[in-house]
Structure formats: structure tokens, C-alpha cells
Structure 1
Amino acid sequence: MPHKKTVLVLMGVSGCGKTEVGQLLAKKLEYPFFDGDDFHPPANIEKMSSGTPLNDDDRKEWLIQLNQLSRKHRENGAVIACSALKNNYRGLLRAGMGNCMAFVYLEGSFELIKSRLEQRKGHFMPIKLLQSQFDTLEPPTKEITVSIDQTPSKIVAEILKHIN
């Protein structure tokens, strides 16, 4: 599938479907999928697991590591799931990527996402941190935005329409 954006970052608060949608999208594009959560240092996971939200300093090295991953996959493509809640976080992720990266904001209401988190098992992110993510979120204005109030396959189809 020809398109200019080789690295796609699925962004949004915890529970919006970044991993599930990202895996489906990566399969369609024949790109590798990377879950940003897998790149958090143990201290970040411990902090979130204990119910304490991450701050900008906690996220900085993590975002730099995901930027390095993006740069490594710039030529052949990748799909990365990363909350990327603030504009400056997206700036760190995009550094050195030129026009090869696109962010896809998976948008949903607090109530919808909370109900999904209540169904999720075995994830380190407690539901009580969801409000802090919404408080931190700076929704992008110039990126692809897709409502999560539909099936994952429909979300992927909508993303593919935007990038092709």
C-alpha cells in the first residue's frame, strides 16, 4: 500500500485501543508493531502500578527511546502505540523524522474508555489514573483523528483511508 507516512503512531489515553488497533493496522500494512508500554523503564511501570501518574521527566527518556525506534524504522515502516498525550511529547517523538511520521488520535469519551478499562485484565495501568491522562491530554488538531466508538476493523479502515 503506497503512502508517504512510514511510521504511524497510534495515540490516546490508556484503554482507547492503541494496541489492538495498532496490531490490526500493522498487519494490513505489513509493518512491525511496537507497543510503547514495552519500552517504559521499570521505574515508570512501578510508579503507574502504584497509582502515581507519570510526569514529563518520567516520560522524557521513554519518548526519546521511541523516537530512536521510529528513526530505525523510517525506511521500512512501523506502527507504534504510544499515548503521546502532549504536543511536546509528539515533538520529541517526531524529531528527525521529517514528513515520515503521522499520529493517529484514537478519540473516545471518558465514560466509554473507563468502561473498557473495567473489562481489561492484567495491565499495569490502574483505572484511577484515567482522569490524570485526560487532564494531561492535549488533543492534536492537525493529525488524523478517529472515533473509537466503532469496531477495531472499522477504525483501521478509516485510518487506511486517511493515509492512502
Structure 2
Amino acid sequence: MNHLDPNNILLITDIPGYTPQISRLMSMMNYARYSTLRAVEGLTTEQLDYKLDETSNSIGALLLHFAAVEVAYQLETFEHRDLNEEEMKIWGAALDLGEQGCTIKGNPLEYYVNILNEVRTKTYEVFKTKTDEWLYEEYPFWQERPANHYFMWYHVFEDEINHRGQIRWMKKRLPM
């Protein structure tokens, strides 16, 4: 089943193979991703690499950031651990952005979309094995405050929505 079916993208509903609450979470994640992909559709490598100034991130870096955040939350919620040294070599620049994020460039849109799809596919494969009760499991998180898996996965697409706003703002200012 294609989770980004544009005919059903506005439905927050059950998804076959997933529990009801995980289905609803996925429905929201799907819409966020659908909107992101529409926002970057047709951008060239040069447009994806463009930075407004020395302190800004490129659209390409932000797209890779979405994947890196999702990987970090896969590890946090599925394995209860942080990225290890080897994983940080792969995802660190995209996760932290800033000065490190400046190294993310020279890739066509398909590169970013493929990574986003690979990471999301893994998330959804594991979601098939989880229950609604798992979403509500709590443990100390940011500043040792209690959080549950539901919040953590909400934050994954909330972060994407936030940065998608940046992408739309930047896209209007592209010189090319």
C-alpha cells in the first residue's frame, strides 16, 4: 500500500496492518511528508544547495535533516539509545545542521527523496510490530521530563512541518 496516496492523504484513519492509534499517527506523518514533497517538487541541485547567507541551511540540508531526525527517533524509541559514533558519521551533519550542515550539497532531489523514503520505510516496518500501548509508554526524555513514544513521533513530523515552513520561505527567495 502506498502510504502517500494523494487520493487519501487528507484522511486520518485506520491503515491496514497497523493499530488504530499508530494508523492515525502515520496518517499525520504521511500528510506532513506529502506536503514537504510538494514544496520541493522540481527543485534543481543548485536550488537545493542555495543558502540565503552564511548562517542559513540549504533546502537540501533540511531535507536530509528530516531523515536524520527520524533515524535518531527510531533509535531512541525502538532501541532506547542514541546514535553511536559510526551513525554520527553518517547523520551528524544533517542532525546538527549549522556549520556541519554546510557540507551537505551537490545532490539532486531524487537523492534526498530516496533517503527520506528509505528511512520512513524502516519506521513503518517497525510500527507494524508495535501496539497502541507502546505509544503511551513513558520514560524520562528532554531535561529528564516524562515523555511517551507518541510525543516523540509527533515531534518527528512537527520538526518537519517547522522546517518545511523555512523551505517554503526560502523557495520564494531563490535567485534561480
TM-score, with length taken from structure 2: 0.29
Q: Highest CA radius of gyration, 1 or 2?
A: 2
Give 1 or 2: higher helix fraction: 2
TM-score, with length taken from structure 1: 0.30
